[in-house]
């Protein structure tokens, strides 16, 4: 599996999101659902997905929350961080989600479509003391079950293009497109020329069409 960025930055990303979730929810009194939405639509989530050093090595969790709130609401947080002697549930959620995003290479916005904040809260008690790989396996199963359509089908239907139209405009056979969308053929093993042809028609990147 291709990870989102180098593993050497993973622990920083986990601590960063753990602190951000804890501060936003427990100190700033933002609901978990609301913070997830704000984080998902912010440019901050994309920068962390890409492993940008300016965030993974240059920001604190409080600074991340400030960036998110200023960008999405126009207001900076004023709450002071709370002093605790143990990691909160909210810290664990941010910490675990950062791991799964790195592990899967998926977008945070897609992960939170399949896993609500309430889902993650329910996973805390049985999983917070377990190896993080167990959380990743369970999260991955839930995300895969949610996104039953292939990326090709999802992007094609969003674009408003039929399989026949896509075949005609891309030069990729209709049968191949059908097989990619039905999971009968692995688009990850298609030639770069094939994937590029499909991506050009659909106005997306080649990576958008590949399955994680």
Given a cut of 70, whether residue 2 has pLDDT beyond it is: no
For residue 209, give the nearest of 146, 167, 172, 156 by alpha carbon: 156
Write the pLDDT tens digit of every residue in 88-130: 999 999 999 999 999 988 889 989 999 999 999 999 999 999 9
pLDDT band at 195 (very low <50, low <70, confident <90, very high): very high
Say whether pLDDT at 211 is over 90. Answer: no
89/68 Cα distance (integer angstroms) = 21
pTM score of the predicted model: 0.74
- Helix 32-41 vs helix 117-127: crossing angle, to nearest 10: 110
Which range (16-20, 81-85, 157-161, 180-184) has the least confidence?
Answer: 81-85
Q: Which residue has the tokens 């290479």?
A: 105
Classify each residue of 73-92 as buried b or exposed e, where b means 16 or more C-beta atoms within 10 Å of its C-beta: eeeebeeebeeeeeebbbbb
Residue 187, pLDDT score: 93
Average pLDDT for 12-36 = 96
Q: What is the mean pLDDT of the chain?
A: 92
């Amino acid at each position: 599996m291709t990870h989102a960025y180098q593993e050497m930055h993973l622990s920083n990303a986990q601590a960063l999101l753990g602190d951000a979730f804890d501060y936003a929810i427990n100190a700033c009194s933002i609901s978990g659902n609301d913070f997830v939405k704000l984080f998902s639509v912010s440019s901050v989530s994309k920068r962390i997905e890409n492993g940008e050093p300016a965030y993974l090595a240059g920001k604190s969790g409080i600074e991340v929350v400030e960036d998110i709130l200023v960008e999405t609401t126009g207001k900076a947080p004023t709450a002071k961080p709370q002093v605790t002697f143990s990691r909160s549930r909210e810290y664990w959620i941010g910490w675990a989600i950062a791991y799964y995003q790195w592990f899967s290479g998926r977008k945070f916005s897609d992960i939170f479509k399949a896993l609500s904040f309430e889902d993650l809260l329910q996973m805390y008690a049985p999983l917070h003391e377990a190896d993080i790989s167990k959380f990743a396996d369970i999260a991955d199963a839930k995300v895969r079950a949610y996104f039953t359509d292939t990326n090709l089908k999802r992007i094609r239907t969003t674009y408003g293009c039929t399989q026949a139209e896509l075949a005609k405009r891309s030069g990729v056979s209709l049968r191949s497109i059908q097989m990619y969308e039905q999971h009968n053929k692995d688009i990850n093993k298609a030639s770069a020329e094939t994937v590029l042809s499909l991506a050009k028609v659909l106005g997306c990147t080649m990576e958008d069409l590949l399955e994680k």
